[in-house]
Every structure is written in structure tokens, then in C-alpha cells.
Amino acid sequence: MSDVQPTSRYCFVCGRDNPASLGVRWRNDPGARQVRAVVTVREEYNGYPGIVHGGVVAALLDETAGRALMVDGDFERLWVTVKLEVTYRRPTPTGVPLTVVGWVEREDARRSTTAAEIRLPDGEVTARCKALIARPPETLLEGWLAEREHWRVDPE
């Protein structure tokens, strides 16, 4: 089992073929039951100069919280966010390597509660979230079948 999680083609957060993508690549840390990624957000995603836009912070947290459900290597597991509660603790800077960490707090067959946070190189947390994640509706799964062949881990 690879510890690297797959990505899709056009996702805003991880899309390999999306020129606007943040380019995030997650790794599973099964021992800690966490997923992790290191990302440096470019200035194009500023809210204020030198500060990542709050919507981009929320997108990073949302995707990471959802990917926590794949920490066991089940990369076919799909999910959608039902509720996302973000707490912004301090500005998140652009141009700095940020570590995004996600974990599962409660899991069952239909809905799960996950969490994620963004950390500066010194470990200080700039933002965190709690997410309610659910199985997607069948209509979304139908659209996924056309994209499924492109869901993969690319060589680093």
C-alpha cells in the first residue's frame, strides 16, 4: 500500500492538470492515524498581501479533513462535506511551507466527523476545522465513474 494519496485532474486543491491548483499531495501516516501534506501557497491566493485568502484556507482544511477518511489506504472511498466549521487563529502566510494535517474523530458507515489544521514551520496552528462528512448521493457517483480512471498517484 502506498502512503501517497491519489489526486484527480482538475480539483482546485490537488488537480494535476489544473493550472490554478494549489498542487497539494497528501501522505498517510497510519501510525498517527493522520494524513499530512506540505504546501506553499502562492501570492495569487492572497486575501491581503502576504496572507492566504480565508476561502483558500477553508478549501485546504476541507480537502484534508475529508482525506483523513482514506488514511487506511482505501482510496476508492468517496465523501462530501455536509458541514465545515473553520476557526481562524491567526493569518496564514503565503510563501511559507505549511503543514496541513487531518484526522478522524468519529466514523461510521454513513457519516463521520473529521478535523484538520494548518501549521507553520514552528508548529503554530493558524487555522483548524471540524467537518461532518457523508457518503455522496448516487448522482455524484455517476459523474465520478467518468473521472475514476484519472484518480491516481503520480510519480513524485
Bigger pLDDT: 62 vs 135: 62
Q: How far apart are CA 51 and CA 120, in angstroms?
A: 13
Per domain, the residue ranges of the chain are 27-147
Tens of pLDDT, residue by residue over 4-21, are: 998 988 999 999 999 999
How high is the mean pLDDT of the chain? 92
pLDDT band at 2 (very low <50, low <70, confident <90, very high): low
pLDDT in tens, 38-60: 999 999 999 999 999 999 999 99
| HSE-up of residue 98 (Cα within 13 Å, Cβ side) | 30
**pTM > 0.75:** yes
State the pLDDT confidence band at 83, using cuts at 50, 70 and 90.
very high
User: What pLDDT, on a 0 to 100 scale, did the predictor assign at position 1?
Assistant: 45
Sign of the C-alpha dihedral computed for residues 34, 12, 149 and 153 taken in this order: negative
Cβ(126)–Cβ(89) under 8 Å? yes
Q: Which CATH number fits domain 27-147: 3.30.360.30, 3.40.50.300, 3.10.129.10, 3.30.470.20?
A: 3.10.129.10
d(CA 70, CA 132): 15
112 confidence band (pLDDT: 50, 70, 90): very high
Which pLDDT score, from 0 to 100, does residue 154 have? Answer: 77
Reply yes or no on whether the pLDDT at 103 is more than 90.
Answer: yes
With CA atoms as reference, report the closest residue to 22 among 71, 50, 55.
Answer: 55
Taking residues 92-111, report their average pLDDT. Answer: 96
